[in-house]
């Protein structure tokens, strides 16, 4: 049991610190995302109406898909910049576009999952649809779309963290930056525990 504790909490203390920072940045990104969703909802058409009919299918793109995509793009830039400066401190190790392209790719995977979850939670007849008896859109706190967006964000965050840690903020760095990353990990490990 001691070995497991040491492995999880001591040897990987740096990862826990990164996860905490990533969570704080992600929390601020959730606020940004939800503010954009609320703004779009207030200024645009009803989120449940059809924005675009998909020809030759029974499917439609609804305004909530459009709003979620706009919110994703804004929050994605916000999160990228904060993660680059603070969480992974990679600004000195790689160029902005060199890191943003994979970050955006990871984000697009998250967006697809987000849109799928939102659709399942809002589509009438879906087994996972949020009940309209509780979420009747009478207030912001009872708005089905807002809750669906929050739930979808909670589903996407763990996937996003793992992919960004493994790929975006680590793999795109050049070999010359590896000693700096190793040095930072050493500083975060208590003396005598490595």
Give residue limits of the domains in the chain: 2-188
Do the Cβ atoms of 99 and 157 come closer than 8 Å? no
The pLDDT tens digits of the residues spanning 155-178 come to 988 888 788 778 776 655 554 444
The pLDDT tens digits of the residues spanning 99-157 come to 888 888 888 999 999 999 999 999 988 999 999 999 998 888 999 999 999 999 889 88
């Amino acid at each position: 049991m001691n070995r497991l504790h040491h492995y999880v909490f001591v040897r990987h203390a740096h990862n826990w610190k990164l996860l905490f920072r990533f969570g704080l940045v992600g929390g601020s990104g959730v606020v940004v995302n939800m503010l954009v969703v609320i703004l779009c909802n207030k200024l645009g058409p009803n989120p449940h109406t059809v924005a675009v009919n998909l020809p030759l299918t029974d499917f439609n793109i609804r305004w909530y898909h459009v709003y979620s995509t706009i919110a994703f793009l804004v929050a994605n830039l916000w999160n990228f910049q904060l993660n680059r400066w603070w969480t992974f401190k990679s600004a000195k190790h790689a160029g902005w576009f060199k890191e943003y392209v994979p970050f955006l790719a990871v984000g697009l995977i998250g967006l697809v999952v987000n849109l799928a979850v939102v659709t399942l939670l809002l589509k009438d007849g879906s087994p996972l649809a949020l009940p309209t008896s509780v979420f009747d859109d009478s207030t912001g706190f009872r708005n089905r779309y807002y809750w669906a967006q929050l739930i979808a964000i909670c589903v996407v965050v763990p996937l996003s963290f793992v992919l960004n840690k493994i790929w975006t903020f680590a793999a795109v760095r050049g070999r010359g930056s590896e000693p700096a990353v190793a040095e930072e990990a050493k500083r975060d490990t208590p003396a005598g525990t490595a």
